Amino acid sequence: MNSVWSATANLKSKKTQKQTIHTDVLIIGGGMAGVLCAYQLQNAGVNYVLVEADTVCSGITKNTTAKITSQHGLIYDKLIRQFGVESAQLYLQANQAALEEYRTLCRDLDCDFEEKDAFVYSLDNRNKIESEVAAVDRLGFPAEFVEQLPLPFSTAGAIRFSNQAQFNPLKFVAAIMPSLNIYENTSVQELTDRGAVTNHGTITSDKIIVATHFPFINKHGSYFLKQYQHRSYVLALENAADVNGMYVDEAQKGMSFRNYQNLLLIGGGDHRTGKKGGNWDELVDFAQKHYPEAKERYRWATQDCMTLDGVPYIGQYSKNTPNFYVATGFNKWGMTSSMVAARILTDLVMGKESPYAAVFSPSRSILRPQLAANALEATVNLLTPTPRRCPHMGCALKWNAQEHSWDCPCHGSRFTEQGVLIDNPATGDLRRNPS
């Protein structure tokens, strides 16, 4: 179940830590966010080290659908209502700047970068789309209402952002990582006042960036309350349609579409990690109905950190942890958000002001309806009697029959049938594997 990106890119291995290291900035996590932080810090002349417990992009990044866009569902009407026009404008500007950065970088890279229009459609609610168009118009961005889409079903309309982009993320990383100071198979075991202890020694640093998808330090920031994880599934089909764009349903459990070379990528089957959903079965049924001549070439699944208000957490890990930073909660838009994070965090670790820092601050209000839902889910699963418990915070694990894994519905950690860690925030394997 490898993604098309894993099958078409070749990332050369990096060294493993062999001795004590001192650096100005330690980056923990070698996904797209961590790699881009390393790239930006290197270009700024900052001394840094990136450590990855496995290999670069072996976690979530390899399973993205790889859309680079400032259109993140129907977010701008919501942002204006929650935070006001100015904050919504800054969010849009940050993501457009990230898109432009990719466009500039990819001009000379072999990463299958393509400019495409991006669409958010609704199956049955034209008013939602019209409200989003009006909201984006208030922000001065040229979005359009579209009546007809090249999809195999009718919609109530869509909003179009022109000149967005898509690419092969692993080819991109393969092109920029050779000169980066990265240590693979180097796992952080403990953080100290002056850096970190890894499985291969000590790294002392003045500042630390945690880019591990879901933050693994619980005593600061309350990320275990501020986030949950969401799984979604992808099929890559040969002999299917060319939709000439990127399309997502405004509903969280809707479907997404984009092409890559001769393949149509269909996403969907979504559910909260540890819960039941449509999985690949939903996508297979859809493909058989609408693309009966198509042939499945690849299938994979991914996992996303979802925040309380739909905005990522990028900045100081908590109010009480100076020189300790985080990038997380990308809400299914990890490619663009990773670049936003790299730009913001590079400014912050260099002592510069970022115009976008306040919008993405991890210390903003947590008083959102999703907070109660997260707390309830954690309480229920902490009280559920079962011998299989997540080592992260002790929640009951649920069996995922589709993927043959033990999944945590509280915070999204996942383990193989034998108890080997797949996805964080847990940092180790299951202590036992009951029969």
Strand partners, 159: 120, 145
Rounded distance between C-alpha atoms, residue 315 and residue 180, angstroms:
22
How far is CA 137 from its chain centroid? 27
Determine, yes or no, domain membership for 279. no
Q: Which pLDDT score, from 0 to 100, does residue 252 have? A: 83
Determine, yes or no, domain membership for 295. no
- Rg of the chain (C-alpha set): 21
165, 102 contact by CB (below 8 A): yes
Same domain, 330 and 347: yes
Rounded distance between C-alpha atoms, residue 344 and residue 160, angstroms:
27
- Residue 94 CB coordination number (10 Å): 26
Report mean pLDDT in 10-residue bins for the chain, 435 residues.
Answer: 94 94 97 98 98 96 97 98 98 98 97 98 97 98 96 97 98 97 96 91 96 93 95 97 97 94 97 93 97 97 97 96 96 97 98 97 94 91 89 93 92 94 92 54
Same domain, 9 and 46: yes
Same domain, 385 and 336: no
Determine, yes or no, domain membership for 52. yes
CA atoms within 13 A on the CB side of 15: 10
DSSP SS3 for 146: strand
DSSP SS3 for 183: strand
Q: Which pLDDT score, from 0 to 100, does residue 434 have? A: 46
DSSP SS3 for 129: helix
CATH code at position 215: 3.50.50.60
The 3-state DSSP composition of the chain as helix, strand, coil percent (nearest 5) reads 30, 30, 45
Q: Which pLDDT score, from 0 to 100, does residue 240 have? A: 97
Same domain, 178 and 221: yes
Determine, yes or no, domain membership for 347. yes
Rounded distance between C-alpha atoms, residue 46 and residue 209, angstroms:
13
DSSP SS3 for 406: strand
Q: Residue 221 sits in which domain range? A: 4-64+171-225+310-360
Structural domain total, the chain: 2
Strand partners, 297: none
φ/ψ of 315, rounded to 5, equals 145, -150
CB under 8 Å to 173, separation ≥6 — which residues? Answer: 9, 11, 32, 35, 56, 57, 61
Which residue carries 């990582």 as its tokens?
A: 177
Strand partners, 233: 268, 301
35, 335 contact by CB (below 8 A): no
CATH code at position 375: 2.102.10.10
Same domain, 326 and 345: yes
Determine, yes or no, domain membership for 16. yes
Same domain, 353 and 384: no
Determine, yes or no, domain membership for 417. yes
Q: Dihedral angle at the C-alpha atoms of 295, 298, 304, 310, nearest 10 degrees?
A: -40
388, 351 contact by CB (below 8 A): no
**Residues written for the chain:** 435
